[in-house]
Amino acid sequence: MLETSAAAAAGLVAAAFTPSSLAGGTPAMSGVPRLRFGVVGMNHSHIYGMVDAVVRGGGQLVSFHAKELDLAAGFARRYPAAKQVSDERAILEDRSIQLVLSSITPNERGSLGIRAMQLGKDYMVDKPGITSLAQLAEVRRVQSATKRIYSIVYSERFENGATIRAGELVQAGAIGKVIQTAGFGPHRIHPPDRPDWFWDPTRHGGIICDIASHQFDQFLYFTGSTTGEIVASQVRNVRHAEHPAFQDFGDVMVRGNGGTGYIRVDWFTPDGLPTWGDTRLTILGTDGYIEVRKNVDLAGRAGANHLFIADRAGVRYIDCNAVDLPFGRQLVDDVLNRTETAMTQAHCFLAAELALVAQEKAHVVT
């Protein structure tokens, strides 16, 4: 979760998604648009990367709505061709709009998605896309009834070239059968920039529900698991006694029908690190392992999208900055063709469910 001010949204767009998702600035749509889409809610600057992904995929941003005037103003500056509307219904009830995007406050994302699906729209939402098990049950019910797409954007996999390349290597058998994933999601907190809802787990779901949603998605994807269970989980508030309900550390052990996983997330990125977090993924296979360093290489290589692999042939480094990012294109294809090439609906909901169960069952360390 990032700042909600217009200035912060404009200044931290590069931190919202990975640098590769913003290469060359705001992407320009070429040719005739493949679909029309709108935005409702932009309380996290991930919305900029989400919009850019859909534009790269052939979408045309038609209109947007936000309750917060400063956020709307910043969004309008970046996308001047889009029409600002005063009521979300102008987007949800517009029959020409096929897809709705949102990064509204997390606890509002599920109910907005339900309204969108009931009005015949597909829905692309920032993570966490759902903040309670009761909300998940209702979202699942409406999605099943309407057959609309409810897509949660797990951007650490969809919009990171090194993670995409890791998937290609795993699918090609480069490290044999995957046994385990270990995912780490540290973040920088900078309290002065945080809105009130940031400190309230009832509004963002808790640290595991929020940040670790990325790691659950990657665990399922890389192990090929279609089922999962939480072995153990815990949360702590180490440094923020002034916000007693807040959690700044969490970790999880998870088991699936394709392998096991360990997840650690926290708000302890040191001030000296040149990025918001040293996010890492290690994929252990029977014949080797891969480490993805998504945002920074502490050994000194510049930029992001670093991949290291050790296998039977040796050890090598792969620069993944030029890797194609297909998610936006695939999601547009899915909207038009009623397919599941970007992500299956079952996978989307299972990743969310595991995060919610781990959060609910977490032992609170005092």
Over residues 183-207, the mean pLDDT reads 95
Tell me, what's the pLDDT at 24? 39
Q: Name 187's Cβ contacts closer than 8 Å, sequence gap at least 6.
A: 211, 265, 266, 267, 269, 276, 277
- Residue at a domain's end among 131, 153, 175: 153
Q: 310 and 206 share a domain? A: yes
Q: Is residue 334 part of a domain?
A: no
Query: Do 230 and 256 reside in the same domain of the chain?
Result: yes
Tell whether 109 and 215 lie within a shared domain: no
Task: Quote the domain boundaries for residue 73.
Answer: 6-153
Q: Are residues 54 and 166 in the same domain?
A: no
In a domain, 338, yes or no: no
Question: What does the mean pLDDT of the chain come to?
Answer: 92
**Digit-coded pLDDT (tens) for 82-98:** 999 999 999 999 999 99
Query: Does residue 345 sit within a domain?
Result: no
Q: Same structural domain for residues 167 and 274?
A: yes
Residues 11-25: tens digit of each pLDDT: 333 333 543 333 335
Q: Please indicate, yes or no, whether residues 19 and 144 belong to a single structural domain of this protein.
A: yes
Given 93, 125, 153, the domain boundary residue is: 153
Continuous segment of H or E residues that includes residue 74: helix 69-78
The pTM (predicted TM-score) of the whole model is 0.92
- Average of pLDDT values for 258-270? 98
CATH number for 17: 3.40.50.720
Domain count across the chain: 2
Averaged pLDDT for residues 209-218: 97
Contact between 94 and 114 under an 8 Å Cβ cutoff? The reply is no
Q: What is the pLDDT of residue 5?
A: 37
Of 115, 136, 153, which marks where a domain is finished? 153
Q: Is residue 341 part of a domain?
A: no
Q: How close are the terminal C-alpha atoms of the chain, in Å?
A: 24
Per-residue pLDDT at 331:
98
pLDDT, position 182: 98
Give residue 28's pLDDT. Answer: 60
Statement to judge: residues 202 and 302 lie in one domain: yes
Say whether pLDDT at 37 is over 60. Answer: yes
- Is 1 a residue whose pLDDT tops 50? no
In terms of Cβ atoms closer than 10 Å to its own Cβ (0-12, 13-18, 19+), residue 131 is buried
Mean pLDDT of the 114-127 span? 98
How much of the chain exceeds pLDDT 70, in percent?
Answer: 92
Once rounded to an integer, what is the mean pLDDT over residues 263-290?
97
Q: Are residues 10 and 137 in the same domain?
A: yes
Q: What is the mean pLDDT of residues 49-71?
A: 97
Write the CATH number for 291: 3.30.360.10
In this structure, are 184 and 213 located in the same domain? yes
271 pLDDT band, cuts 50/70/90, is very high
pLDDT, position 27: 63
- For residue 126, give the 3-state DSSP assignment: strand
Angle at 291 between CA 289 and CA 297, to 5 degrees: 150
